[in-house]
Structure 1
Amino acid sequence: MSTPYASAAPYYARYRPPYPAELYALLADRFALDGSRTVLDLGSGPGTLGLPLAALAEHVYAVDPEPAMLAEGCRLAEEHGLGNISWLRGDAAGIGRLCLPRIDLCVIGGAFHLMDPARVPADLDAVLAPRGGIAVVTSLAAAWPAVVDEVCARFLGGVDAPYDARDVQDVQGVGDLRDVEDRLAKSPFSRVETSTWERSTRYSVDQVVGLQFSRACSGPALSGDRKDAFEAELRRALLDHDPGGTYVRTVTVAATVATRPRR
């Protein structure tokens, strides 16, 4: 049975912007990612974090509950000639059932907000190497033009759309980042440090529309046979807002790295 996450997966893989290179440089330095380490991408989606890390790791295990997301990730890995990624269907509640080898780094994107914040670090304590750790990546973004929400409300206002933690660029704020830090500080990985990078990205109309379809709460499955009408109305509203057809959005990416306290 199709889900909103399934219908959003191709758009997610195509339109979600990559994370900054500085993030991977930080992780490579902090966890000695020299091609000999093993990485777990938990709640991986199509590998937004895991695919770039594959170039730095011996092996990456990408875990997600949605088969369509895993299929998109597998396709992208093949396109880029990355053979050192295993795509596993599962969720954070079943870490112990995945039979993973010793992990040096676990990365978690927006899906952290759908996970049990106490259980997940406790379960990871059993699989992470002594000098291993967790990196939770959070995106804090400016809002889209109001017309985007107005069109979504008009077409999808009566739909019981799921909360989508993958949509962190639209829902998270500074309070959410502080919550991540506080949760990890109370876990076995209580040594917590956060680094941030800010960037502004220019989007075309096609990209803004594609990003709305990449969200479970406004993906193609929710608009159904009104998808074409929704897209046409969104394009019209965007061009009425800015006839030039370009939209700049500022995003702050935060990496909260948590490791065990020094002994």
Structure 2
Amino acid sequence: MTTEPVPPAFPRFQSTVPHYVAGRPNYAPALIRTVADHLHLSNDHRLMDLGCGPGWLGIAFAPFVGQVIGIDPEPAMLEVARTIAAASSVAIELVEGSSYSLGLHLGTFRAVTIGRAFHWMDRTDTLRKLDDLIEQDGAVILFNDVRPDVPQNAWYKSYTEVVDRFTNRSVGFAPERLRHETVLLASRFDQLTRLGVIEQKSVPVDRLIDRALSMSTSSPEQLGELSGQLAQQMTAEMLPFASNGNVVEVIESQALIARRR
């Protein structure tokens, strides 16, 4: 007899929403186009953005497919996604739910995108459920971003040190957790391809403060009055690297495409 995983008590992201939208870097438009071309997406296809947050991935892929469904457990994130989609004149269906509510009632999809959310899921169970929902030639695509070790990113070490000082590790993840690639290679979706696009941007230090407060482990809900101290320390630490209140960030948006054999 098998039992379904028990859905966890999801961390509340309501307090992070304005900081998430203001501070998190969006994925490079060139990467979205490259992934769409790689998967030969068309108006005949449906796409699911699982753990969609403010809907950035679903909205970005909407011009390349016939229908997009975004799923997220946080109502405040879905409300922002509706606002952004309306402002972009993009039609996207948004559903309150999670990887634990996946089922055949959702229909089938050519692609399922997951951006910075796979670590919140029972990854093995999620891939098993997606195996029933994704077309044979379809794919799971995990999106993330990294910062190359280049001189422009010299500020990033100080940024992470400030964030680490205020991190509540009790709501994080153990460092020994398996990498996503390991979990994918043990699933049906074991054919992996990584695509990346590198951009250079000017980022206001205020947006870096938002970025720090957008994380579940250092959210305003977690920090309370310490949020102000984080902002003060971040401003001070970024001062040597900033010009006119901005730092230069070199960022690589990555897509890990997982397909079946």
Q: Do Structure 1 and Structure 2 share a fold, with TM-score over 0.5? A: yes
- Name whichever of 43-52 and 229-238 sits farther off: 229-238
Other-structure match for 1:55: 63
Q: Which residue of 1 aligns with 2:26?
A: 18
Alignment counterpart, residue 87 of structure 2, candidates 76, 79, 93: 79
Contact 2:50–2:112, Cα closer than 8 Å, also in 1: yes
| Shift in Å, 1:149 | 4.3
148, 170, 173: which one aligns with 2:159: 148
Whether 1:5 aligns to 2:16 is: no
Whether contact under 8 Å (1:3, 1:221) holds in the other structure is no
The one-letter code of the counterpart of 1:186 is A
Q: Which residue of 2 aligns with 1:102?
A: 108
- Residues 48 and 111 in structure 2, CA contact (< 8 A), matched pair in contact too: yes
C-alpha distance in structure 1 between counterparts of 2:132 and 2:162, whole Å? 46
| Percent of aligned pairs sharing the same letter | 26
Which stretch has the larger CA shift, 135-144 or 204-213?
A: 135-144
Deviation at 1:114, TM superposition (A): 2.4
Aligned partner letter, 1:80: S
- Mapped to 2, the partners of 1:254 and 1:150 lie a distance apart of 24
Cα separation, 1, equivalents of 2:142 and 2:160: 28
Cα distance in structure 1, aligned partners of 2:183 and 2:164: 33
1:145 Cα deviation after fit: 4.0
Aligned twin of 2:198: 198
Cα contact 1:161–1:216 (8 A) shared by 2? no
* Separation of aligned partners in 1, 2:12 and 2:237: 24
Corresponding position: 1:162 with 2:168:
no
User: Aligned pairs, how many?
Assistant: 246
Deviation at 1:251, TM superposition (A): 2.5
CA distance in 1, matches of 2:214, 2:144: 17
2:159 and 2:39 mapped to 1: Cα distance? 40
Q: 1:94 to 1:251 in 2, by over 3 A?
A: same
* In structure 1, C-alpha distance between the alignment counterparts of 2:233 and 2:256, rounded to whole Å: 39
1:147, distance to aligned residue in structure 2 (A)? 4.2
Aligned mates of 1:146, 1:185 — CA distance in 2: 31
Of 64, 76, 80, the match for 1:68: 76
Q: CA deviation at 1:233?
A: 3.9
Q: Are 2:148 and 1:137 equivalent residues in the alignment?
A: no
Give, as a single letter, the amino acid of the residue that structure 2 aligns with 1:109.
Answer: G
CA shift at 1:250, angstroms?
Answer: 2.7
What SS does the corresponding residue of 2:225 show, helix, strand or coil? Answer: helix
State the distance in 2 between where 1:145 and 1:24 align.
Answer: 25
Quick check: 1:4–1:222 contact (8 Å CA) kept in 2?
Answer: no
Query: Using the alignment, how far apart are the partners of 2:202 and 2:48 within structure 1?
Result: 31
The TM-score with structure 1 as length reference comes to 0.81
Q: Which runs of 5+ in 2 are unaligned?
A: 1-9
> Is the 8 Å Cα contact of residues 13 and 73 (structure 1) preserved in structure 2?
no
Aligned match for 1:115, one of 113, 117, 121: 121
| 5+ residue gaps, structure 1 | 165-170
Once the two structures are superposed, residues 218-239 of structure 1 have per-residue CA deviations (whole angstroms, 9 ceiling, x without a partner) of: 2222232343444244323422
Secondary structure of 2:35 counterpart: helix
Separation in 2, partners of 1:4, 1:55: 31
* Corresponding letter in the other structure for 2:94: W
Aligned residue identity for 2:172: Y
Are the structure 2 counterparts of residues 183 and 227 from structure 1 closer, same or farther at C-alpha, using a change threshold of 3 Å? closer
Q: Which residue of 2 aligns with 1:238?
A: 238
Q: Which residue number corresponds to residue 32 of structure 1?
A: 40
Distance 1:150 1:196 in 2: 26
**Is 2:241–2:247's contact at 8 Å kept on the other side of the alignment?**
no
Q: Is the 8 A contact 2:213 2:227 kept in 1?
A: no
Tell me which moved more, 217-226 or 207-216.
217-226
TM-score, structure 2 normalization: 0.81
Structure 1 Cα separation of the partners of residues 195 and 169 of structure 2: 36
* 1:15–1:207 contact (8 Å) kept in structure 2: yes
Aligned to 1:168: none
